[in-house]
Amino acid sequence: MIRFEQVSFRYADTAAPALQGVDIEVPEGELCLVVGPSGVGKSTLLGAVSGLVPHFTGGHLTGRVTVAGRDTRTHRPRELADVVGTVGQDPLSHFVTDTVEDELAYGMESLGIAPETMRRRVEETLDLLGLAELRDRPIATLSGGQQQRVAIGSVLTVHPRVLVLDEPTSALDPGAAEEVLAVLQRLVHDLGTTVLLAEHRLERVVQYADQVILLPSPGAPPVVGAPADIMAVSPVHPPVVALGRLAGWSPLPLSIRDARRAAGPLRERLADRTPGTSGPAAPGELLVCAERLGVRRGRVEALRGVDLAVRAGETVALMGRNGAGKSTLLSTLVGLHTPAAGTVTVGGAVPHRTRPAELLRRVGLVPQEPRDLLYADTVDAECAAADRDAAAPPGTCRGLVAELLPGIPGDVHPRDLSEGQRLSLALAIVLTASPPVLLLDEPTRGLDYAAKSRLVGQLRALAAAGHAIVLATHDVELAADLAHRVVILADGEIVADGPAADVVLSSPAFAPQTAKVLAPAPWLTVTQVTRALEATP
């Protein structure tokens, strides 16, 4: 169905090739997963299938890419629109019309499909994706998961034989991600659609893949094979694979079910051990305190009666559905929203009544899109500005950047940094004023496992140094790895607040893979298991 023959690709303004020696065939009806660290060219590979590379991006492509027998060199993306459906990373930039039903019909209208057929297919797709309730809603009012489903639906109505998806679940909460993956499963099994999918959160998708394409490093030829074989050597892998490698299971399990079947001996070995205690060494002073907090955004009550207390040295993970009020809570803590009810104090100050320059010393927030914090043309200029904003001695911010992630050059534009580097820069800027309270909104979106584990290390060190950290995240593995306490928000209210282990173990949606494999014992992360096994042979 998709065939790459000796394909190399180089962007116009770079010397090194983005892809090299790609020789792949994806047969019809397969779910094929593209994995690799960030910046290795996964999006480029996907773009080459839909023809956007090189028709839209420019650059130089050698070799041949054919999709359903059509050469992408001679067919522009619009001429491939009836065989390839593409959904990019951000569903919002994909929408042309403004209501769900029109959006589903848009692609078919462009292809000139007969009105009766369109009508039937829209109804079928609404049912297939569970969107019937939303058919005449404006797209702007939908949640992230719903938007992702509409984006998939909008390319499905054309009945493409190939579906190309770039990180379809990265921005979604665990429940919404399951919804989207269930739909993809159905397409592959019921309609024989070929799906090509890139994703960082392998724990969510790898068990569904028929074939995995691993791009080990930029410009290196890809390795193609069965998921279990590739995962055995891949530098990026989900926790269940890490556990399998650690315990030496063969064949390597990819799903929780397979892992549990193999895990009997491991559970016995671990039976008389307990995971290291989680929790700060000693509870410090109370830094964040919200009582009966209520916040309204327009006509919507975004938060209701929220009580939250965070002490120095503590790390708290806020979890919950898209739109549950996590970001609103963080924004309220830095004074971006004025509470409608209740009180909030952060580091002794009332955030919405404190001047920004003063508040900077008490609390810092790294927003969902770290790029929003960056204005300057170079990293060095950004750091100098941060020193001035915080009235810190010159060089403070640059020093922090070097400490957090060595090797970020000073003269590059912040936009040209990788996601992980950009996050480290934003973190350093916020830390320049040395606020005792640090807030992070969805910090692992778009990060690969290596960048994620670096972030975990950085945040652990900060917590140990006495910072109070609150992070909003959908990433159950991150929360299990890092948080002392987990707070679950639903519909603007706190529905659970307790030690991380207790909260995540009590709900399957929020339990990390290690916990599911080793239940009922309270192991949360592979690191814990490794340490326990090393401690006593």
Partner 1 sequence: MTPPTPPRTGRPGANLHAGAWWIWALGLATAASRTTNVLLLALLTAVAGYVVAARRTDAPWARSYGTFLRLGLAVLAIRLVFAIVLGSPIPGTHTLFTLPEVPLPGWAQGVRLGGRVTAESVVFALRDGMKLATLLVCVGAANSLANPARLLKSLPGALYEAGVAVVVAMTFAPHLVADVARLRAARRLRGRDDRGVRAMLQVGLPVLEGALERSVALAAAMDARGYGRTADVPPAVRRTTAALTVGGLLGICAGTYGLLAAGGAGAGYGLPLLLLGLAAAVAGLRLGGRRSPRTRYRPDAWGARAWLVAGSGAAVAAAMIAAATYAPAALDPPAVPLAAPTLPLWPAACVLLGLLPAVAAPKGALR
Give least dist CB 374 to partner 1, A: 8
How many residues line the site for partner 1 (CB under 8 A)? 72
Give least dist CB 361 to partner 1, A: 8
Give least dist CB 274 to partner 1, A: 41
Told to check if 31 binds partner 1 by CB under 8 A, we report no
When the beta carbons of 493 and 497 are compared against partner 1, the nearer one is 493
Strands 70-71 and 60-67: antiparallel
Residues 6+ apart with CB under 8 A from 489: 306, 318, 319, 320, 324, 325, 326, 329, 495
φ, ψ of residue 134 to 5 degrees: the values are -100, 10
Distant-in-sequence contacts of 282-285, Cβ < 8 A, 24+ apart? 282/313, 283/311, 283/313, 283/314, 284/311, 284/312, 284/313, 284/314, 284/466, 284/468, 285/311, 285/312
Contacts to partner 1 from residues 296-355, by CB under 8 A: 299-300, 331, 334-336
Candidate residues 73, 135, 269, 296; the one interacting with partner 1 per rule CB under 8 A: 135
User: Mask of contacts with partner 1, 158-197, x by CB under 8 A?
Assistant: x---------------------------------------
Peptide bond into 77 cis (omega under 30): no
Contacts to partner 1 from residues 197-256, by CB under 8 A: none
Residues 6+ apart with CB under 8 A from 367: 373, 426, 441
Give least dist CB 96 to partner 1, A: 6
Give least dist CB 293 to partner 1, A: 17
Contacts to partner 1 from residues 352-381, by CB under 8 A: 356-357, 359-360, 364-365, 367, 371-375
Candidate residues 1, 33, 35, 52; the one interacting with partner 1 per rule CB under 8 A: 52
Q: Where are the alpha helices (DSSP H) in 366-506?
A: 379-390, 396-404, 419-431, 449-464, 476-482, 500-505
User: Which H helix or E strand runs over 469?
Assistant: strand 468-472
Give least dist CB 469 to partner 1, A: 16
The CA–CA distances, whole Å, from 132 to 109, 152, 173 equal 20, 14, 21
Contacts to partner 1 from residues 493-532, by CB under 8 A: none
Contacts to partner 1 from residues 429-488, by CB under 8 A: 429-430, 433
Give least dist CB 325 to partner 1, A: 15
Please tell me the distance from the alpha carbon of residue 71 to that of residue 389, in angstroms, as a whole number.
54
Contacts to partner 1 from residues 67-126, by CB under 8 A: 76-82, 84, 86, 88, 90, 93-94, 96-99, 101-102, 105-115, 118-119, 122
Give least dist CB 389 to partner 1, A: 5
Could you list the beta-strand ranges (E) of 49-203. 60-67, 70-71, 84-87, 162-166, 194-198
When the beta carbons of 375 and 508 are compared against partner 1, the nearer one is 375
